[in-house]
A = this chain, B = another copy of it.
């Protein structure tokens, strides 16, 4: 490996001069400068960022830690990357290993130190897991409602979005609306927040709430969602609409309904949540709740920058608005 002192020797200067040339930190005479650059070129030198980071105490890198690379997260990551880069840092994506009991365990606290800051999607982590996190690296949580106060936190208006989607289908005439992938109980998980919105829409419309229509699914995969809906159909529970907790679930539902000979939207209306890019194109177009990735990303990075500037600032909790996008699946 070529080091800075190799370059210094080649150019006949000290390592400090090389460093100054490379970082434009202090004025360097033009001829010296030229010799240094020539040496850098001829030796093919690159600074060692590990050494620089150790010395500087910062890395210029922010990590976004997510449960999986798919779907919602990849679209969010894209928006976050743009925001982080606008702030002059790099973004890297890390995945928590699904198999880990406690998802956090798969990204050790030590690893967090490799970053100036971390944005972590807390979906799948409960309050206890989060309480256990002690890190000198600033962390901004993205996701569910119930996080310890000490964390900066950005969440979606999950209830409002679910309510709007459900109310929209009620307004179109749906009366028996499955809450597919939603969960009962009051754990403040995303799936339960979205069920609350589904319930609220029913109350607003003076419709009864039938708990049989809240149908949780296992692992949020397409396959699991498909199988679950097929089972509901086989069991004979009558329904005329599906509010799916995520677009992945909604898209799988479109498939399952098609397999069962049910037409969308004529027999069953379908609405999702996440507004994946593909949802706009899949016939007949999937009605969905746009989570506003740009806003989430902007707020998350803003909170991180604020925290980096002032480590002792009080934690901030932000809920970002969402927006229903109506397409063919509910027409």
Contacts and interface: CB of A to CB of B under 8 A. Distances in A.
Contact of A78 (B69, B134, B278, B283): B69
Given A70-B78, A90-B111, A92-B92, A59 B50 contact: yes
A292 interface: no
A320 interface: no
Q: How large is the interface on A (under 10, 10 to 19, 20 to 34, 35 or more residues)?
A: 35 or more
Interface in A44-73: 44, 46-51, 53-54, 59, 63, 68-71, 73
Given A50-B59, A51-B54, A94-B92, A283 B283 contact: yes
A68 B63 contact: no
A281 B114 CA distance: 39
Contacts of A53: 50
A109 interface: yes
A263 to B, nearest CB: 10
A69 B63 contact: no
Contacts of A85: 97
Interface of A: 1, 44, 46-51, 53-54, 59, 63, 68-71, 73-75, 77-78, 81, 85, 90-95, 97, 108-111, 113-114, 134, 136, 222, 226, 248, 251-252, 254-255, 257-258, 277-278, 280-285
